[in-house]
Structure 1
Amino acid sequence: MHSESAVQYAELVEATVSEAAGGAPLLAARLHYTTGRLLELYCALLPELHRHHLASVPEQAAIAHNNLQLLAHRVTALAVRHRCADGTLLDMVPELRRTGSDIFLAALTHQKEQLLDILSEAGLENLAQTGDLSATAGAALRRCGHQLRRVCRVWRPVLPAGVHARAAGLLLSVVTGWITERVLAQQDISASAASQLTAAAAPLVDDALALFRPDTEGEEDPAEGSAPAVSESEARALLSRHTAGWGRFTELLLVLEETMRGILDRWSDGKGPLAQHFSAEQARHLVRALFQNNERRAATLARIK
């Protein structure tokens, strides 16, 4: 999806270059220079004039990203078609792409900051206590899930499918990575806290697939350029590929409710799923945090190496 103004701007650039192609060398040089200046101004003014909206409105940042990528593509085609030997047009292509990427990366950073602000209220500083995590972690993770669904729903009909999947995975990994690191930092985790945290994270896990699987069922007029339908297996592949630490996060949730025997089975002499995502030291740390110090725990720790 692109804005109409960007398409018109691209058409103006194309008309100017086409006029230069049929003119005298001096006129052509001047028109190429003018075209370069038009593109420079676009790159310079767009981020400044729309700074607030680009930072706070996810859809606007995505459209601006697309507009600049469109211009970069059209300018490249123009330079090749008209054999612009002076390099004026081609020199602007990296700047157009960089400006578009910078705008979208700034929007991603803004979303990450919002998610981290929400997570700061999750109350995972001390999991040794047996308080009610549903009022803190549960509420925070529900808000994170809502935020993720909202921004992915806004971006899906705008961004190319690959860009959307990478953005969704990056934002989801902010949440899952934060939770994983907080749990690994605990010296003691009560059984109640482990169970409540697993329950609080369950909706996030259940809804994660939908971030990568567009659902247009029931829509009368799906948005033009929306991401193509994908199967459940394809969506799972996208989720795993683009969400750093997703397997680590889901494995951690399983471990939080496992018995010592179950954890040993998942370690499986360094060949099981637990060993794929955690080092031996991290696995032993989780056992120490989850279970009281006794002979069974000592025997379990000795077998994780």
Structure 2
Amino acid sequence: MKFLREVVEVSNENDSVDAKKNIAKILTEIKRYQSKTRSFIDANYVDFLPNLSTNELYLEDGEKLVREVENLMEIVENDTKNDLNIAVDELQQYVEELREAALGLRVSYKILKIDELFQSLESAKSNNEYLEAMNIADKIKSLITDVSDKIFTGLDCYQNVKIKYQVESEMLMHKLRLCFEELVQMSEKSFQNTKAVNVKISKNSSHLHQTIVALFNAKYNPKQLCDFLLENVFQPIITKPVSVELKDDDEDFVQLNLSYSIKDLAEDLRPNYKTVFKSIKTVMTCLSYINVQISDTLCVFNIFGEKLKEQFLNLLIGECLLYAIPDTMDEMNDSTLVEDIIDFNEYLVRLPFLKVDQDRDLIKYAEKIGLLFQNRFCTNILDNAIDIMHKDLHDMILVAESNTSTETAKNPSLFPRCMISKSTLEIINLMEKVIRQTSTVDDEISQRLLSTIPIILNRYLTEVPMYHEKLLHNIPQQTALFHNNCMYLAYWLTKYASKGIDPSENTTKNLQNMGTEYFVNQFKNQRTQLMEILQGFDLSDGVSELGIGPQKAIRQCLRQLDLLKNVWQTILPNAVYTKTMSNLLNDLCSEIIRRILSMEDISSAIANELVEICSIMIERAPTIFKDPLQINVNVKTWTKLTQLKMVLGASLAEITDQWSEGKGPLTLNFKAEEIKHLIRALFQNTDRRAKALASII
């Protein structure tokens, strides 16, 4: 403008009068400019009237005016101030007026600049130039939010300008999202038993790039998108069989199709980890179309990783890789699990879905595979052993077939011929397999494997009694087998102690004690049953005959012993069977003898019945043993019972003859008082009886 140059010339010539005039002229020009711009601003941001004029002319004039006012201020304040022939105070007044006018000029120019940016924003949106639109929106925001500009924030139009920015910004974000959803389409549809998931991504890389960059620069939160991928894509791929198809034959879109069952599936249908890795890579290949570079240090996969990695890695490890640990030593030797996990982790880092230095969950898990395998292997061994322990005990097999009682008598270290449960043999085979495998592994694993053996045996002591509790208490066959099982396991443990097995203190003794304890309890139970049956063996005084009760009770006791014979004779070692049945029979004979000896009066008829009862016992009881003659050696009261039968049917002379003044055979089993009691009960009080009693000394 010409008048500005004139003012500058006047200042240079130190013409104070013209300086004042031209400063006043500038002030007038600024006021005129502000008046025109105010009308434009009021029309657009206060009254919102239709306005066909453009702000370009105002911006151009405003820029020139601002520059030249700044030049004038600099000249007046710095170059000519000391040379003007006017009062300093008067000059200062003109300078202050000029400074105030300049502030107003800058605010007017700022508002016009904001208006220009709004127009540029509309143009960018119309041309789908979203990245440019976001840059313009950021510029508008910086101008509006400048807190140092108190004049602008106090104007009537400020709130309207601010609201317009907020509306434009929200509309831009909305349009960005709509555009993004057109370029990146994700959908899922559920049917009765299955779900279909579809992901379509545009191949228009230019449009996709600027849309995504603009969206993420605007602090777009991809939570909904990430939640969809986790719930409908990654979680099913990791936990169940999924059909994954990537279609790249369309010119406009790449398409990912997934299909899977929404029903609860059996564990054996869980996908192999290699299948899971392959499917995840297919998904990432599809998603790579939106993996654009947002800044020098940030891309979309970085953002996805931050949102997804914690749940993704927890799912991958907990629901896939945990189940991928080999179950057997052979599988472990052939496994490439560690290498595959490391390779997959490197793949995720390259995407870059994970950060190489920070996200080490997969690497740490791979480093623990050896330890986890040991835990899994040992746990599987124990679980397998427990499953075997739950099998029926009565499914049995003969062991130590050649170790007859004659052989074991010669060599007590031999395990005697008997029956054990097949399940016990399975447990032993399992433990021997573990011992064999220790020779193919390093010392650490070897010691870990060997430590499972005492664990299995100690678990046997608690698991079998608990699981088979009722049968062990009620069924003699089960108790006998459990007894043999415990003894055989204890024998095996002693035999294999030289293989490096730590028997964990008293495991061998505990096995022997447990087997003995349960068998003794069964013995007591059988003895109690015999005594209960003998309640029918009523020998009350004052009856003329016994009736059928006592004989029936004896026959029932013998049947009970026959049942035990049928169960135990083929199961128990011969020595154990002989001792057990001898003790039961001895207790039975002792009770019969006790009851007869307790009778005060035995008539001839009753005596004959008692003889018959004793005869039944003497005839049938020896058949309980394989060698009937064993009864004479092993049943202590057997001879006494046979002698009692003789006494009950003998005459006084025969009885005294068998006593023979304390030197006869009766003295081996009877006391003098017992014989005297029988004589008094059997014979009437006569001189002959008195003489006989006198001879019993």
TM category (shorter chain) comes to 0.7 to 0.9
Are residues 1:30 and 2:444 paired?
no
Structure 2 residue identity aligned to 1:156: Q
Q: CA deviation at 1:101?
A: 1.1
Match of 1:95 in 2: 510
Distance in structure 2 (CA, Å) of the matches to 1:125 and 1:14: 62
Which of the pair has the greater relative contact order for Cα pairs under 8 Å at 6+ separation?
A: 1
Distance in structure 2 (CA, Å) of the matches to 1:294 and 1:40: 70
Query: Matched residues, percent identical?
Result: 31
**Residues 277 and 21 (structure 1 numbering): CA distance in 2 closer, same or farther, change over 3 Å?**
farther
Q: CA deviation at 1:7?
A: 0.3
**Residues 22 and 299 (structure 1 numbering): CA distance in 2 closer, same or farther, change over 3 Å?**
farther
Structure 2 residue identity aligned to 1:139: K
Distance in structure 2 (CA, Å) of the matches to 1:57 and 1:173: 22
Q: CA deviation at 1:48?
A: 2.3
Distance in structure 1 (CA, Å) of the matches to 2:463 and 2:578: 29
Are residues 1:190 and 2:603 paired?
yes
**Which is further off, 28-37 or 39-48?**
28-37
> Which of residues 409, 412, 425 is equivalent to 1:7?
425
Match of 2:581 in 1: 168
Q: CA deviation at 1:112?
A: 1.0
Write out per-residue CA displacement over residues 163-196 of structure 1, whole angstroms, 9 at most, x where no aligned residue. Answer: 1111211121222111111112222222211110
Q: CA deviation at 1:87?
A: 4.6
Secondary structure, counterpart of 1:201 in structure 2: helix
> Which of residues 636, 639, 646 is equivalent to 1:254?
646
Match of 1:65 in 2: 483
Write out per-residue CA displacement over residues 78-104 of structure 1, whole angstroms, 9 at most, x where no aligned residue. Answer: 003x254x553x731111111111121
> Which of residues 634, 647, 661 is equivalent to 1:242?
634
Are residues 1:120 and 2:538 paired?
no
Contact kept? 2:493, 2:503, Cα under 8 Å: no
Secondary structure, counterpart of 2:661 in structure 1: helix
> Which of residues 204, 218, 227 is equivalent to 2:617?
204
Match of 1:143 in 2: 556
Q: CA deviation at 1:74?
A: 0.8
Structure 1 residue identity aligned to 2:481: I
> Which of residues 447, 461, 467 is equivalent to 1:43?
461
**Residues 96 and 21 (structure 1 numbering): CA distance in 2 closer, same or farther, change over 3 Å?**
farther
**Residues 285 and 78 (structure 1 numbering): CA distance in 2 closer, same or farther, change over 3 Å?**
same
Distance in structure 2 (CA, Å) of the matches to 1:281 and 1:21: 72
Secondary structure, counterpart of 2:570 in structure 1: coil
Contact kept? 2:614, 2:642, Cα under 8 Å: no
Write out per-residue CA displacement over residues 57-88 of structure 1, whole angstroms, 9 at most, x where no aligned residue. Answer: 221111111111111111110003x254x553
Contact kept? 2:476, 2:564, Cα under 8 Å: yes
Match of 1:288 in 2: 680
Write out per-residue CA displacement over residues 26-78 of structure 1, whole angstroms, 9 at most, x where no aligned residue. Answer: 44443343222211111122222212212222211111111111111111100
Q: CA deviation at 1:119?
A: 0.4
Contiguous gaps of at least 5 residues in structure 2: 1-418
Match of 1:219 in 2: none
Match of 2:565 in 1: 152
Structure 1 residue identity aligned to 2:613: A
What aligned pairs does 1:13-24 form with structure 2 within 5 A after superposition?
Answer: 13-20=431-438, 24=442
Distance in structure 1 (CA, Å) of the matches to 2:610 and 2:690: 26
Contact kept? 2:454, 2:503, Cα under 8 Å: no
Distance in structure 2 (CA, Å) of the matches to 1:292 and 1:33: 77
Match of 2:101 in 1: none
Distance in structure 1 (CA, Å) of the matches to 2:659 and 2:548: 33
> Which of residues 242, 259, 279 is equivalent to 2:671?
279
Aligned-residue CA RMSD in angstroms? 1.9
Contact kept? 1:134, 1:200, Cα under 8 Å: no
Structure 2 residue identity aligned to 1:148: L
Match of 2:655 in 1: 263
Distance in structure 1 (CA, Å) of the matches to 2:659 and 2:435: 64
Distance in structure 2 (CA, Å) of the matches to 1:260 and 1:48: 60
Structure 2 residue identity aligned to 1:197: L
Distance in structure 1 (CA, Å) of the matches to 2:440 and 2:577: 41
Secondary structure, counterpart of 1:2 in structure 2: strand
Structure 1 residue identity aligned to 2:510: E
Identify the structure with the greater strand proportion.
2
Contiguous gaps of at least 5 residues in structure 1: 214-229
> Which of residues 107, 125, 129 is equivalent to 2:543?
129
Contact kept? 2:632, 2:638, Cα under 8 Å: yes
Larger C-alpha radius of gyration, 1 or 2?
2
**Which is further off, 269-278 or 49-58?**
49-58
Distance in structure 2 (CA, Å) of the matches to 1:197 and 1:5: 48
Distance in structure 2 (CA, Å) of the matches to 1:134 and 1:25: 76
Contact kept? 1:125, 1:182, Cα under 8 Å: no
**Residues 138 and 9 (structure 1 numbering): CA distance in 2 closer, same or farther, change over 3 Å?**
same
Secondary structure, counterpart of 1:270 in structure 2: coil
Distance in structure 2 (CA, Å) of the matches to 1:178 and 1:49: 36
Contact kept? 1:190, 1:290, Cα under 8 Å: yes
Contact kept? 1:72, 1:97, Cα under 8 Å: yes
